[in-house]
Amino acid sequence: MSTALAESTAIETLIKAQAYGLGFDLVGITSLGPALSAPEFESWLARGYGADMDYLPRQTEKRRDSRLPFPAASRAIVVGMNYGGREPAGPVARYARGDDYHDLMTSRLNELHAWLESEVGRPISGKAYVDTGPILERDLARRAGLGWFGKNTMLINPTLGSFFFIGALLVDFELEADPAFESDRCGRCTRCLDACPTGALAEPRVLDASKCISYLTIENKGAIPEDMRPALGELIYGCDICQDVCPWNISFSKELEETAFRARPLLAGRTARQVATEVLAMNEETYTASFRGSPMKRAKRRGLARNAAVALGNIADVRDLPVLLGARDDPDAVVREHVAWALAKMPVSGIPAG
């Protein structure tokens, strides 16, 4: 056993100190068990608010009880990692501008796991989860004392706001749990509901994914409904609007410190026009090279090109005619249809038919 433990420092304190040392901004400990938000989640799915994300209803039993995804575990060390709410707004949501958080956070949770084994001097069964399993992560985070569910459905922490990722290390190791976060600090505020350009927040804490810009530009694999396209404005990947207007973020969001999350050159300080025209001109090879290691690869080239066409249609700048005309022969039918829509929005006549 290490000197630190020999000096009777609580292992929970040491775990948290190590987690902070690894770059996490929040850390709490909770016991595993029935997920309190599971009934609401299942009701949400039953109301059709999950759109066509067919993976969400899978493994329902495991989502209902956090002891089931990794049966050996009894505790969760839950972490939050800031991704820079003070960064300027732009055509790509802040979380997706740099390297993929799944990879970075999983690696650091694995480091925390290895450190814990070394500290106690024996192997400990455990597994890191960062959006990678049938776990209601917000539920675990609230149980671990990291925040409450905001009316925009985000987990909000009173010292950090909501611009942070959530991850969890499930372990077979007895630890004292932190108190759950019980209070709701949104009060009468409805800024997030009022600001959503597509009306995706059906009611406080209930998101209709089929109307959410993040869903439409990322998870949606087909065409974006025509009546929704104007509301996307210049957004190309994701949306931060319901977070931008939240008073807790206005007051308490932090500067970006993790260099891995800094915007890559394609996105850093660039306008929606600049990003959209470059994306729309990409082939599979240039797309793969540009977004290697990025969370934006989830939308695939066709999704990003589709989104770029919509953004250019909404911007309606005649300087973008060459790139749009060049994309009329895109190999993907979905992209071609959105390019045609964008061309029809241009404030000029005489665009060659094709």
> Which tens digits make up the pLDDT trace of 97-134?
999 999 999 999 999 999 999 999 999 999 999 999 99
% of the chain with per-residue pLDDT over 90: 95
Task: Find out whether 15 and 175 touch, Cβ atoms under 8 Å.
Answer: yes
Q: With cut-offs at 50, 70 and 90, classify the pLDDT of residue 43.
A: very high
**Candidates 54, 65, 99, 131; catalytic one:** 131
Residues β-bridged to residue 157: 161
Question: Looking at residue 9, what is its pLDDT?
Answer: 82
Tell me how far the alpha carbon of residue 320 is from its chain's centroid.
Answer: 30
Domain ranges (residues) in the chain: 1-262, 264-354
Told to judge if 131 belongs to the known catalytic residues of this protein, a careful annotator would answer yes
Question: Looking at residue 5, what is its pLDDT?
Answer: 46
Residue type at position 324: L
The overall average pLDDT reported for the chain is: 95
Q: pLDDT: is 350 or 142 the higher one?
A: 142
Distance between CA atoms of residues 219 and 217, nearest Å:
7
Closest by alpha carbon to 311, among 252, 271, 251, 260?
271
Q: With cut-offs at 50, 70 and 90, classify the pLDDT of residue 303.
A: very high
Mean pLDDT over 31-36 rounds to 97
pLDDT at 91 over 50: yes
State residue 29 phi and psi, 5-degree precision: -125, 140
Fold of the CATH domain 264-354: Leucine-rich Repeat Variant (1.25.10)
Mean pLDDT over 191-196 rounds to 98
- Which residue reads 């993976």 in tokens? 55
What confidence tens digit (pLDDT) does each residue in 222-272 have?
999 999 999 999 999 999 999 999 999 999 999 999 999 999 999 999 999
Question: Looking at residue 6, what is its pLDDT?
Answer: 44
Question: Looking at residue 54, what is its pLDDT?
Answer: 94
